Structure formats: structure tokens, C-alpha cells
Amino acid sequence: MGVGFLLLTVLTLVGCVNYSLSLGYGATFLLAGVWAVTAGQAMRAGRALRVKLDAPMEAFAGTESALTGGATGLAGTPFEVRLGTTTATGRTPAEAAGRFTLKLPAQARGPLTLPRVQIAAYDSLGLWRWVQVLPLADVGLEVLPAVFPAPEQSAPPPTRRTGAAGEGLTRTAGTEDFSGLRAYVPGDSPRLVSWKHAARTGTLLTREFDAPAGTALMFDWADTAALGNTEARLSRLSAWIGAARASGLPFGLTLPGHTLPVAAGEAHARASLTALALHQPLPAPLPAPKSPHLLPILPAAALRFTLFGLAVALAPGVLRQPVWVSVLSAVLLGYTAWQTRPLQPQAIQTWRLPRHLPSWLLGIAAGLAAVALNAEYGTLLGSDAGTALLGLLVALKAAESRNMRDARLLVLLGLFVTFTHFLHGQGPLVALHALLSITLMLAVAGVWVVPNTQADTEPGPLRTAGKVVALALPLMLVLFVLFPRPDGPLWQLPLQGRAQTGLSDEIRAGEFSDLARSNAVAFRADFSMGLPDPQDRYWRGPVFEGYDGLAWTQARLRGASPSIEATGPESAYTLTLEPNGKPWLLALDVPTQLPPGAFLSTAFQAVNPRPSTNRARYAIRGRSARLGVQESPERLNYNLLLPVGQSPRARDLAASWTGLAPAARIEAALNYLQTGGFTYTLNPPILPEENRVDAFLFGTSTVGARTGFCEHYASAFAFLMRAAGLPARIVGGYLGGEINPDGGYLIVRQQDAHAWVEVWLAGRGWTRVDPTAVVAPARLNTNLSTALTRPNATQAAPIGTFARLRLRVDALQNRWNDTVVGYNGEQQRSLLGRVGLGEVGAAPYLLALLGLIALAFVPALLVARRAARPRDLAARALHDLTLRLRLPRAPGETASAYALRVQQRWPQSSESLSAFLNAYHEARYSPEASPEGAKKLRELVRKVRR
């Protein structure tokens, strides 16, 4: 799990570098911080973990031997003890040892051979394991018993033999007559201990009994000759010894080359069974049984918790993907959760869905979904289609999950799906969702990986994951600010998605009126030298010079670059452009300084070679100028072309102006629009395919002509100018913008989209003419809504409470874009220069990076040290004393023994240590703890000196 988590972190980092996902950087560095914090947790827990194993219980061939033990360490440490193929897990309690039991298979008789013990401590999320492989002696197993032969079932009674002739002449160990006392030997029965003597002298003695030798049992190897097989003969002897052991009768054992005299007791029985176990030849070792590596059935509570985490991770996709994808994903997750309900056998069920959907059915569903998404989007490689398909595949994977490996894979998939949402937005809500989703999926990881963790336990995996995420935030902030940010992608793979709202590549009747219905933000502009006047807020975009009678299109024309003659002061502003998938930048007047890689076309259009697929910030400088005073004849001739035979009435009208001066022709056309009864509307009529300029300029009221939006007036005016002999073209872009008083910047929305005309005049170059301004002057000085309702207004209506609230939220969004989303390599270099760290890779930069990373781990270290302190006040004071003296307590060492050891090492501390010890005992064993006692203990700890 930890390796997969690390690979996922590297993968997301590569993706964020390639697609300049600033918020993705933050989430990736959060995962890196989690990875580092949990590494420290595992290291501390592993170093403190100690395991002791008890002596194994006796085992007979074909059974299991239980091996018990205890683990101590930091309170709440998840641990795992592995011995061969058997594993035990648990958590270390606060004050005692965590008990566990290992089941050791005893397949055949012989010496019990055990491999070395492997102990592992986990961090709280299961990303790390601190593993130690220890010899058996280090865990308290110096001597191992043997595996005894399995007793024969229903064995016949043994043959009785007399030890000597005559009653009382020869006696042997037995249970009839008391024969004396001997020293106590471990393993003697407590009922044979002389407790009266022990009470008087303090020494344990064992009473011995004997019996006539004629009553003793002798188990001889020869008595089992009829069985033939060695293992069968040993099995019968094992059954006889067990029967004598149960009844307490003395017995002797004779084996080839080995004889045990007649005796009784547990020690004699174990020695006899051990002799049977080690009898040569030993049987061939049987292969160890294979333990299942994967759980066949996933726990219901943990699986439901996982499905909930996946549902949260997939939730933002509902806002952008087809409805059927969201519904199908919800059905799959819901069905999987429904199948985890407890079954009721007593209920009569005539028909029930299968508990697990077959893999072949899910594979067919995945194929059909891919075909449907390809038909929906036209591709499966784009961001929209790709993320929708990925979310659906994750839901299908959840429906077919069978084992622990599948469950852990779902955790990694849930984290990866969270990162895909950054391809569609990086706002504050997306960041909040990412933080919640990452925390939730990390909690799910802890449930599946960390031993003895359930989804409904206290303090709960979600709370644990939240603490780890909080401790990882300082490292995330350091890396977010200082990690090198490349300026370009690692590879070129455009994220194709649905067309975003914005200016089109061509102008047709109705293009801008449809766009004006959108309130979405197109871009924001922050001016450093004051806002321009309303009549100067023409944001220049694509230039349309080709006309076929239906649409105006862009054209690539060869020729010399036109001239630019500056006429006004320079302005500087920062443009925060929303993603629109188009290569153009919006600029005022003529840009004099563009972002790296951008250029100015021969039509004075600012072009960025990389289409805007993510929100981006650009620093631009510009100034007013006369454009194209020196223009190529080829371009001028091209901007005189008109489709043959189209709109003859408009041609005749323009021909009547050819005798006028060029400026007078412009005034004549504007005067015609101003006095011709034209209206400005968002709902213009549909114009015919043929002679549409005539239909717009001369149509009757019965067909609703003489009404239009900016593209109608710009198209008709450019047609009239070309017909009148003046080169003309249409410029698309935006006009105006809304000033946000909270941030002092300009918000330009899609509804501010506008089209105007440029007419070339000798000696003046390309001159901007806005025919819409003569029909609706309010469009130039106010905003769209005012121009539609009051075309001649000079001032917009005051904004309401809701609008002010919206502007305040937008100001917060703009600050977020500036500080988080817009943080790139250029801003990083600027920041490093301002604080004196030089460039990325310089010595001051590296020293600052290492120092801040070290400081970022301080909160995690303080929390870890605080968590290691006992909760009891007296025990906590003793713990603090050991840290102060840098002398840890030995396992099981009492406070008094520890104080004596300290006094022997540092005699000068005797007085202060005695005072502490008295206060410790008073606080430790008093009925109630008081704050005064705790304060006194803390003061006494400070007085103890080395």
C-alpha cells in the first residue's frame, strides 16, 4: 500500500507539472507530507515496540500449538507478529502488554523448529511498516519443546510387569506410601508441596511417595512389535503414557538404546513423550499448509465506508458529465452497498440478485460505456470524456471487488479520481472537496491496512486521518511555495473537452447575442496605473477579414508587417483569463509587452500558441497607437472584397457615398444607422441566407428587420464600407467590464462580448468605428442590461445588495486565483528575488528549503512526544523525568528501583529524587488526583539534576 501510495504521488506530480495545475501541486504535496509524517510515526513506533513470547504449549502431531506473547510500546501502536506462515496482530495498550496468540501447525513428530520472529509496527494509516527480524532468544524462547507423537485412539491396555518379587522388598516411585521430602522442582504439582514446612522455613519442599515395585507399569518397545510401523508403535506408547499421566500412576519406558526408570509426575511424562518424539528415524517433514493471502469476503462495515469515500470522490463529476453516467455510477455503488447488508436465512427468498456481479457482465458494461462516451464526446482522450470514463470504471471496480487487494486498489483509485477534478476547476470549493476527499480516502486506507482497525471504532479512522493531514499541512505549504515550477509542459497532449463559452472563430448573425446571455466571467483585469475610461475599454480579440455573404472569418495574409505609431502613455495590467480553449489573448489598444511565447499578429491580434485550457495569469503592457498607417496593398485589397451578387440595395446605397471624402462616407453610414429606426436587442430576427445585409438594412417591420445585436451592425457597416471603397474588417472582443470595489479590478463577463469595425484611412491607418454606439450609446458608457432597456442612458443603475454580495465573493475568488491558482514559475522566481534567496538551485535557496522542511516537521514531533506521554499524572511525571535525565526505564522497573539506579549514577540528585519519589507515590496511589499534586510533581521534576 505504501509503495502504491508513493507511485500515485509521483504520478500526480508529473501530471500537475505537465498541465500547470497549481492546486494539484498543493494536493500532491499534501500526500507527500502525509507520506513523510507517517514515516516518522512508523519509525518511532517500531523503535519502541518490544515483543516477548511465552514458552509454547506441548503439541501432538497433527494438531496446532498455541504460542502466546505480549507486545509493549507506544500506546495504541498497531503491530503484527509473524512466525513462519502464522500471523498475529493487535494494538499495544497504554499501561500493559498487548496479548496475542500464534497458532503453530505441528504436522509431524520431532523437534519443534521455528524460524526467526518478524515483528512490524504500523503507522496510523498503514503506509509504512517498521519491520524487525529477531532471533528466538531475543523474544524469550531459548528452549523449544518437541512435537509428541499423536496418541493412538482406543489403544489396548499396556502389559503389566512387576519390578521385583515380594511385597516391600523393592519399592519404586508411586502414590501409595509417604517416603520423604525433597527439594521443589519446577513442574511439581502444587498438591505435593509441603506448605506447612514452607510456612515455617520459607523453603519449598515436595513430598515423595513410593509403592512396591510389583505395581509399577513398564512400557516396552517390544510390546508394540505387532504393529510393525514405527510411527504406529510410537503412537501406541504415547497413548499409554497419556493414560498413566492422567491417572497419576508411575511408569517406566524402554526404547531401543534408551531407558527411563519408573517414576511419576509431569516432568517424567514430558521426558518420556520427548523421548518418543526424538526417536530415530524421524519422519520426513510435511509441507507447511498454505495460508490464504487474500480474504475471501470483505468486511461489510469497511466496504460500506469505502463506498462512501468513493461516492464523495466522484461527486463533482455529476456537475459536468452526462446524467446517465452519474446514474449508472450511483446504481453500481448503491448495489454494492446494498449487498453488504446481513442476510436473514429465515426469510423466504424466491429470487435474489447475486451477491457479486460476474466479471464478464461488468466487462461488457465497461465496453458499452466507452462506446457511449465516445459517441457523446467524439473522443475518449479529452478531459471530460476521460474523467467520466474513469469514474464509471471505478464504480464498476467497486462492484466486482472480492478481496483485500481490490479494496486497497479502490483507495488509490479514489485518490486519483480526486486529482482529476483539478482539470476542470481549481476554485476554493474544489480545494475544499479535495481536502475532504483525501482525508476520507486516507481513513479508508487505515481501515484496510492497519491491523485491528474498524470503521466504527473510537477515536475513529476519520479522526486519525484528519490529524495526520493537519500535521502534513506545514510541509505542504513549504513545498508549494519553494518546489521548482517549470514554465512549460513535459509533453504536448492537449486536454480536449467540450467547447467552453467564449468568442467563436467566426461571426454569424446571432453569435454574439447568444454569448451575451451568459453571465460567466471571461477574464479579470487588474490595472497598476489606474483604470482606463469606459470608452477606451475595447478588449481586442480575433480579427475577421474574410466574408462569404454568411459569415466573417479570420484570414492569414502574407505581406510586410504593418506599422505601429505610439500616440499615448503606457498602461500595465494583469489579465486573469478563464479557460476558453482559444489561442488569443484579450488586450487593450496595442500590446507593447506580452507574456513569454505570445506574439502580435499582422492584424494586431495578441496570440498565445498554447490554447487556454486552464485559468492563467498574464502580465501585459500596452499603449494607444495608430495602427497600419503603412499597410500592405495585398491586405487592403483583400479587405475590399465582397461576395458577388449579394445585397444589391446595400451596394447601391454605399455607391452613392463614393464621391464623399473617406471620413464623410463613415459619417454617412453612421447617420443612416442612427436615423433609420434601428433598435438594439438580444432577440433579433432570423435573416435569410441570400442578401441578408439588405434584409437587415431595408427590411420591413412585418419581418422584424432593422433590429439586431452588435454583430448585425458590425457586419452591415463593414459591408457598406467595402461597397463604398474603404477597406474594412470586423474585430471581435469585449467592451467594458464591471469594476469590483472590493478589489479595484475589472470583471469582464461573456455578456460583454462585442464586435466593432476597423476602417482603413490614408494617413490614419486602421481606425476603430463602433456602429452599435450610434444605435445604443448606453452600450459604450454603461453595460449591456442598461443598453437593452435604456439605449440612450449615460449612467447605469446602482447595483443591489445581491450584486454587491456577488462582487465580494468574486473578490475572494480573485485573491484565490492570484495567490494559489496563479502561482507559477514566474511568480516563484519573483518571490525568491524579493526575499533574497536568489534563483532556484542557488545555495541560499537550498539552505532555506532544507531549514523550512525541518521546521515543518516540528509540529508532528511535538504531537508525537505528547502522545507518548502516559495519561496518568504520576506516570506522566515519571515519564518526563526519564526524558529529562535521558535515562529510560527498564521493562517492568518500578519507580523506586529506577530512583535507586539514578541515585547510584548521580549521587548529587539523592535529595531532590527522594522528594520526587514521595510525591510520586502520593499522587500514584491517592484516591483522587488533584491539580496541586500534578503541579508539585512538575516542579519536582525540574529540580532533579544529572
Alpha-helix residue ranges (DSSP H) falling in 178-294:
195-201, 230-247, 266-277
The CA-based dihedral angle spanning residues 465, 468, 469, 475, taken in that order and rounded to the nearest 10 degrees: -160
CB count within 10 Å of CB 918 equals 11
Is 710 one of the catalytic residues? yes
* Residue partners of 361: CB distance under 8 A and separation at least 6: none
CB under 8 Å to 70, separation ≥6 — which residues? Answer: 51, 52, 96, 97, 98, 99, 100
Q: Which of 324, 140, 149, 168 has its CA nearest to residue 233?
A: 149
Task: Assign 374 to helix, strand or coil.
Answer: helix
Pick the closest to residue 404 from 292, 288, 312 (CA basis).
292
Rounded to an integer, what distance in angstroms lies between the CA atom of residue 562 and that of residue 581? 28
What's the grid cell of residue 497? 473537452
Catalytic residue among 188, 268, 433, 710: 710
Spatial separation of the C-alpha atoms in residues 95 and 876, rounded to whole Å: 11
Pick the catalytic residue from 279, 421, 712, 754: 754
CA atoms within 13 A on the CB side of 436: 15
Q: Which of 223, 694, 752, 770 is catalytic?
A: 770
Please tell me whether residue 754 adopts helix, strand or coil conformation. Answer: strand
Contact yes or no for 309/440 (Cβ under 8 A): yes
Backbone torsion region of residue 277, taken as left when φ is above 0, otherwise alpha when ψ lies between -120 and 50, otherwise beta: alpha
CA distances (Å), origin 849, targets 71, 753, 819, 862: 39, 46, 20, 21
Can you read off the three cell numbers belonging to residue 577? 483569463
Centre a 10 Å sphere on the Cβ of residue 168 and count the other Cβ atoms it contains. 10
Q: What's the full length of the chain, in residues?
A: 946
Whether residue 860 contacts residue 471, with contact meaning beta carbons closer than 8 Å, is answered with yes
> Which is it for the CA torsion 851, 852, 857, 861, positive or negative?
positive
Q: How far apart are CA 249 and CA 228, in angstroms?
A: 27
The H or E element that residue 258 is part of is: strand 258-263
Count the Cβ atoms, other than its own, within 10 Å of residue 631.
Answer: 21
| Rounded Cα–Cα distance for residues 932 and 936 (Å) | 6
d(Cα 852, Cα 29) in Å, to the nearest integer?
A: 14
The type of residue at 609 is: P
CA 589 to chain centre: 46
User: 19 with 614: CB under 8 angstroms?
Assistant: yes
Q: Is 586 exposed, middle or buried (CB count within 10 Å of its CB: 0-12, 13-18, 19+)?
A: buried
Active site annotation includes 754: yes
Q: Is 770 a catalytic residue?
A: yes
Could you tell me which of 816, 820, 814 has the C-alpha nearest to residue 740? Answer: 814
Which residues are designated catalytic? 710, 754, 770
